[in-house]
């Protein structure tokens, strides 16, 4: 691929290249079916049924409203939204993949992939080792600080002029003397 072809990739002059994958096509079919189901549900579920206005004396009230149609409409609308969202995600995925590897045409060199994976594994191992060293240093500093604080606190208690009346009770009772 030349430098000019890379510069023209995705520009208005070269046109929009629509990558149609199997996932995008299947999502489009499902989305179109969901749109049709929504339209049919709207037409069948809510026909024009004008009734008498409420509160007219002498006219009996109409039947109670049927909420089953509303429930079906909510479910079909949810399917409609999710189907078109899936189309959007699949389209975005295909565009990103086509921008990441415009020269590959779907083929992957196995040796290059192994080399890239080895580089990533090496980098991850080095990062893990650095993080382990940093955590070990922090733990050592924390341990030293706790040890020093304990020693200083013990020295303060030992040098106090007044004896400390500690009310210490053992957990176990001493054996009874017979």
The winner for highest mean pLDDT among 17-21, 28-32, 147-151 is 28-32
Whether the predicted pLDDT of 77 surpasses 90 = yes
Domain parsing of the chain, residue ranges: 15-47+67-105, 108-158
pLDDT digits (tens, 9 = 90+) for 115-127: 888 999 999 999 9
pLDDT higher than 80, residue 178: no
pTM higher than 0.85: no
pLDDT digits 0-9 by tens, 79-103: 999 999 999 999 998 888 877 765 6
- Give the DSSP H or E segment for 77: helix 68-100
Q: In this predicted structure, what is the pLDDT of residue 124?
A: 94
Label residue 46 by pLDDT band (50, 70, 90).
Answer: confident
What is the per-residue pLDDT for 116? 86
Ramachandran class of 74: left when φ > 0, alpha when ψ lies in -120 to 50, beta otherwise: alpha
Per-residue tokens: 4:
């000019």
Residue with more model confidence, 8 or 29? 29
Report yes or no: 87 and 28 within 8 Å, Cβ to Cβ.
Answer: yes
Task: Give 114's Cβ-side CA count (13 Å radius).
Answer: 3
pLDDT at 112 over 80: yes
Q: What percent of the chain has pLDDT over 70?
A: 70
- What percentage of the chain has pLDDT greater than the value 90? 35
CA-based diameter of the chain, in Å? 106
Find, among 42, 49, 45, 41, the residue nearest to 67 by Cα: 45
């Amino acid at each position: 691929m030349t430098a000019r072809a890379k510069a023209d990739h995705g520009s208005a002059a070269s046109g929009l290249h629509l990558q149609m994958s199997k996932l995008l096509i299947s999502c489009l079919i499902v989305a179109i079916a969901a749109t049709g189901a929504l339209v049919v549900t709207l037409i069948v579920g809510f026909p024009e049924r004008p009734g008498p206005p409420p509160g007219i004396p002498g006219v009996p009230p109409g039947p109670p409203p049927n909420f089953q149609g509303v429930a079906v409409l909510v479910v079909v609308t949810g399917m409609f939204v999710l189907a078109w969202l899936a189309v959007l995600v699949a389209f975005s995925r295909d565009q990103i993949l086509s921008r990441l590897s415009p020269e590959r045409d779907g083929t992957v060199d196995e040796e290059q992939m192994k080399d890239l994976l080895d580089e990533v594994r090496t980098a991850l191992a080095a990062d893990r080792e650095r993080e382990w060293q940093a955590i070990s240093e922090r733990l050592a500093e924390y341990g030293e600080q706790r040890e020093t604080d304990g020693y200083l606190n013990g020295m303060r208690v030992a040098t106090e002029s007044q004896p400390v009346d500690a009310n210490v009770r053992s957990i176990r009772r001493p054996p009874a003397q017979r």
